[in-house]
Chain A
């Protein structure tokens, strides 16, 4: 067993065990912290597959932004932890379905023989630059998809702000719509003095 094999089994066992405990424990704070562990170990796995750029992006974007957002929401909402009632049926159902799915995937992996159908000529040249290759491909062949991705991120920003915008007025600025809708009757009330 060389060091790569030992590292592979260590990393994958950490990922599998922590994802199992994430699924079972039913505690959101622990789940978010376990997700951090899973993403770090996946970054190690991606580094072993020579995808250096994506490994760093996974740590920066996912651990740095998305999981911090998750933790923010968890701390902000303060959800009471409840024990699940009538969970046994769901547990049986889910375990059955996932075992069937895994058996099917396992059969696909081992009877199709991907290793023979894929040309295995791993690029081990010293001057091979993963980030350079991704950038070259991204800005030539996939430039349209790249622009669409930027647009999707813009839409996500606007949607996330617009969903949580409350209607409460915070400042004393004028609202032109309300000003136009005002008429004489809503401002002035005429009381007839009948005694005189």
Chain B
């Protein structure tokens, strides 16, 4: 029998793997964006699990909004990546230090 805790542990595991991915793939900004997509997926799964088990549709409406905003975010992120690659001919994040942050 699959309980709510199974789903919650699964999405926690997915979230932790994608956090590790952000640390490991510091050189490649595309893989960084993909890790962020994975984190959003884990969060959405959490929302749907709670929505299912508490019999409330609000969680699924929220997932809908998150999907729309994430699509907009990845579109703008990819546009920035394309124009960055056109200027600098590389995607290494440690070379992007114009602001000296």
Q: Which residues of A contact B (CB under 8 A)?
A: 2, 4-5, 8, 12, 15-16, 19-20, 22-24, 26, 28, 31-32, 35, 38-39, 42, 45-46, 49-51, 53-54, 57-58, 61-62, 65-66, 69-70, 73-74, 76-77, 79, 82, 84, 87, 90-91, 93-95, 97-99, 101-102, 105-106, 109-110, 114-115, 118-123, 130, 133-134, 137-138, 142, 145, 149, 152-153, 155-157, 159-161, 163-164
B-side contacts of A119, CB under 8 Å? 54-55
Interface hits, B3-52 → A, CB 8 Å: 3-10, 12-28, 30-31, 33-35, 37-38, 41, 44-45, 48-52
| Secondary structure of the B contact surface, majority rule | helix
Q: In the complex the two chains form, is A61's CB within 8 Å of B71's CB?
A: yes
Query: What are 27 A-B contacts with C-beta separation under 8 Å?
Result: A5-B1, A16-B14, A19-B38, A23-B25, A26-B28, A31-B31, A31-B34, A49-B48, A50-B52, A54-B60, A62-B67, A77-B81, A91-B24, A94-B20, A94-B24, A101-B15, A105-B9, A109-B12, A114-B5, A120-B53, A122-B52, A145-B65, A149-B69, A155-B72, A156-B72, A161-B79, A163-B80
Residues of B within 8 A of A (CB): 1-10, 12-28, 30-31, 33-35, 37-38, 41, 44-45, 48-55, 57-58, 60-61, 63-65, 67-76, 78-83, 85, 91
Select one of A8, A23, A82, A87 contacting B2, CB under 8 A: A8
With a CB–CB cut-off of 8 A, which chain A residues contact B1?
2, 5
B82 cross-chain contacts in A, Cβ below 8 A: 73, 76-77, 163-164
Cα A193 to Cα B34 with chains together (Å): 71
Contacts of B67 in A (CB 8 A): 54, 57-58, 61-62
Residue numbers in A under 8 Å from B72 (CB-CB): 152-153, 155-156
Is the Cβ of B41 less than 8 Å from the Cβ of A42? yes
A interface: dominant SS:
helix
Nearest-Cβ distance from residue A52 to partner chain B, whole angstroms: 10
Q: Are B13 and A16 in contact (CB under 8 A)?
A: yes
